[in-house]
Structure 1
Amino acid sequence: MKNLHRILGMCLLATTIHTAYGCELSPKNTKSNAVIAEAIVPGENEKSDNNTVKIALLLDTSNSMDGLINQAKSQLWDIVNKFTHAKCGNDIRPKLEIALYQYGNDNLSSREGYIQQVLDFSSDLDEISEKLFSLTTNGGEEFCGQVIQTSLKQLDWGKNPDHLKMIFIAGNEPFTQGKLNYKDAVANANEKQVVVNTIFCGNYEQGINSAWKKGATMTGGEYLAIDHNKRVVHIDTPYDDIIIKLNGKLNTTYISYGSLGASKMAMQAEQDANAEALEEVVIVKRAVSKSSRMYNNASWDLVDAVEDEDFNVAAIEKEQLPQELQNKSTAEIEDYIETKKSERAGIQKEIQELNAKRDAYIAKNQKENTAGELENAMLEAIKKQAEKKNYRWD
């Protein structure tokens, strides 16, 4: 599945740099919120307040789309890992928010056009994973124009012209179906400075003939056609098992607090299990994401929360702390947090180093014809657009 996954990942990465504006070139004085404080990778202190990437995934969940949904479940971590290394022109790391819609499913309300918002814009990676794994397929009517219009109306896209805002819609029925003309929806996207990118699950020419390409090009977006059921064999590496074990150790560094603490920690473990059950390589990629700045749990984890200078550990009610900390003094709790923070930093660093070796091993052992023409074309487009839009990856 690697080539197909990579194409989807490249598609998402490429279109983050296709909007009319790029990164903010001068930071603003904004105050971060403790609940959404950015997770910090050892050695990094970049804030993401001024640069936000918003992606809305609109997925067809009608019959025969199981392959697409499975790719979305596993591809999430490739997308996150791409953005981990993204920098804007002022060297600020962008914040990534993802929203999720499903459409074309008979289990959804016909009055709503067989469309459902599964998740509003969120940077909570465990929550995004949970919602993706909740999707199931069933026959239905696919109205591309209407689901685009619905996402434009319901989501808060913001008015900051420097933010990168994009829609990715994937499906396999004509783009023209439904009462709402897709051209009207796309025109609305243009007004909101949202780029529409289309992924047709089928023959490339068929997608063009059924208006999928037009739906993308009207906003300067990308049109791709994929075989959503294609299976690509992954290359196992000597580092996979070690990374998986380190992921388990990483989980022991989280200190839950507040009303969400216990349930969020359970969700973390559940999404680890979902990833591993899907395919071993997925839990490896998820572990890499969890070792990066993109995986932030400040709303329920004390180690992430204390990165915000306004966060006050002493203000937390004792009953909102783990049982083992409820009888500790504030100083003792702070020392405990520092210990876990240090442990986490070491584990994250080790995972990142192993992943670099893993990437090198895969590059060395993959066949020369592994990368297809479309993938090569996407890489070329990414480099060109990155230069134009002031993004770079390190």
Structure 2
Amino acid sequence: MKHFKHLLGITLFTIAIGSAYACNLKTPEYKNTALVTKSIGDKPAKQFVKIALLLDTSNSMDGLINQAKAQLWDIVNEFTYAKCGNESRPSLQIALYEYGNDNLASNEGYIRQVIGFSSDLDEISEKLFSLTTNGGEEYCGQVIQTSLKQLDWGKNADDLKMIFIAGNEPFTQGRLNYRDAASNATEKDIIVNTIFCGNYEQGISTKWKSGATLTGGEYMAIDHNKQVVHIDTPYDDIIIKLNGQLNGTYISYGALGREKKAMQEVQDSNAAQMKPAVAVKRSVSKSSRLYKNSKWDLVDAIEDEELEVAELKDKDLPSELKGKSEKEIKAYVAAKKTEREDIQNKIQELNKKREAYIAKNQKEETGELENALLSAIKNQAARKNYKWD
């Protein structure tokens, strides 16, 4: 669309540990951590970016869902570089709702929470790929209100909290007035951004722009049926091969570990089936600080102090570690950690070359949903002193 500026790269859904300071505050120069904690009173220990995606899954929205599937990893990769004003990295959480689908319960307004706020990138991907479309009634005001009530938005005024709702029917449908939902969002310091899938002027006349401006959000119109442009590069095959090696560094533990390890591979396959370039982007996400799996992977769990090796039972260990001593397990985990970091560094270095190649050869805009999301995110993040490096 002519009214969108091209922005390379993207995000959904980031990002390491947040700071004890608000993003819009300057960091006091204390050397003693205890003094810092005392000086900021009840400030949360982490800074969050919380994004709720509300996607219309009626019959006409297959193109929108496909764009979201293709561009998830662009969004994650963009957020890798986000910083708070005091140089700390905020944590990203994404929630997903679908609405306007006849397969959903009519007594709940044809609305379903697909996943609540989560930083589990594999699970977010799995839920996104599970979406199917069907005819239905699209109640924008009600799905916004439902997400406001059901999700844990937190009480930290310095968190960045955003809703993105996408669809193509009048914003006024349903018994709940969208203006009331917008008012409730404003009270919670949540910005509502609207993405109309169709003609820009038509979106204005059907109140999609009004739904955004009431909360200080942005109104955008996209061609949701436009094919996403991916540029193949000389580095893609190498990155995909390194991703296979990266998977070999994950050490699952417990029943959840076996399930999540399988999910990791399935989501690799889902990305590859979209297009090889999507698999590359997912590989880059997996090489970033945002891809953390301490609930099922021993390397991340020990690094994040989720558990101690002494706590592990032999039945919860993978076959290669059964019967091993605590010392042997620690040595094995340490070796896998070193191997993982080496592979991740290689992927990141190759991705820099890949991005330079794309920038040089890019002739068309990337996905329209991608551009719409990133444009709004960066504009609104700037209000709370976020920046990108």
Superposition pairs of residues 254-269 of structure 1, within 5 angstroms: 254-269=250-265
What CA deviation, in whole Å up to 9, does each residue of 1:307-332 have, x standing for no partner?
12463111111111112212111111
Query: How does 1:1-394 map onto structure 2 within 5 Å?
Result: 22-23=23-24, 25-26=26-27, 49-309=45-305, 311-367=307-363, 370=365, 387-394=382-389
Higher relative contact order at CA 8 Å, sep ≥6: structure 1 or structure 2? 1
1:56/1:100 contact within 8 Å kept: yes
The percentage of aligned residue pairs carrying the same residue is 70
State the secondary structure of the residue aligned to 2:46.
coil
CA contact (8 A) 2:7 2:374 kept: no
CA contact (8 A) 2:48 2:159 kept: yes
Deviation at 1:389, TM superposition (A): 2.5
Q: Deviations over 1:113-148 (max 9, x none)?
A: 000011011100000000000000000000000000
Name the counterpart of 2:41.
Answer: none
Deviation per residue, 1:291-313 (Å, 9 max, x gap): 00010100000111111246311
Distance in 2, Cα, partners of 1:144 & 1:374: 18
* Counterpart Cα distance in 2 of 1:10 and 1:290: 15
C-alpha deviation, 1:365, in angstroms = 1.3
Distance 1:217 1:10, change over 3 A: farther
Q: Is the 8 A contact 2:223 2:368 kept in 1?
A: no
TM-score, normalised by the number of residues in structure 1: 0.86
One-letter code aligned to 2:386: Y
Tell me the C-alpha RMSD between the 2 structures.
Answer: 2.9
Describe the shift of the 1:52–1:370 C-alpha distance in structure 2 as closer, same or farther (beyond 3 A). closer
CA distance in 1, matches of 2:27, 2:88: 10
CA distance in 2, matches of 1:178, 1:286: 37
The alpha carbon displacement at 1:335 in A equals: 0.5
| Deviates further, 374-383 or 93-102 | 374-383
- Per-residue deviation, 1:7: 6.4
In 1, Cα distance between equivalents of 2:348 and 2:11: 24
| 4+ residue segments displaced more than 6 Å | 3-13, 371-384
Deviation sequence 1:253-286 (CA, Å, 0-9, x none): 0000122000000000000000000111111000
Task: Please tell me the residue identity of whatever aligns with 2:298.
Answer: L
The one-letter amino acid of 1:69's match is I
Aligned in 2, Cα 1:377/1:135: closer, same or farther, shift over 3 Å? Answer: closer
Q: Distance in 1 between matches of 2:134 and 2:376?
A: 35
State the AA in 1 paired with 2:189.
Answer: Q
3-state SS of paired residue (2:88): coil
Cα-to-partner distance string for 1:75-99 (whole Å, 9 max, x where unaligned):
1111110111111112111111111
Q: Cα 1:7–1:63, aligned 2, differ >3 Å: closer, same or farther?
A: farther
- Tell me, yes or no, if the aligned pair for 1:200 and 1:224 is still in contact at 8 Å: yes
Consecutive unaligned residues of structure 2, counting only runs of 5 or more, are 14-21, 35-43
AA aligned to 2:68 is A
SS of equivalent to 1:297: coil
Residue-pair matches, total = 367
Q: Identify the range of structure 1 (57-66 vs 70-79) with the bigger mean alpha-carbon deviation.
A: 70-79
Alignment correspondent of 2:37: none
Distance 2:373 2:104 in 1: 35
Alignment partners' CA distance in 2, 1:373 and 1:103: 21
Please give the alpha-carbon distance, in whole angstroms, between the structure 1 residues aligned to 2:79 and 2:111. 28
Post-superposition Cα deviations, 1:341-360, rounded to whole Å, max 9, x if no partner, equal 00000000000001100000
Q: Give me the TM-score of the superposition, normalised by structure 2.
A: 0.87
Q: Which runs of 5+ in 1 are unaligned?
A: 14-20, 30-47
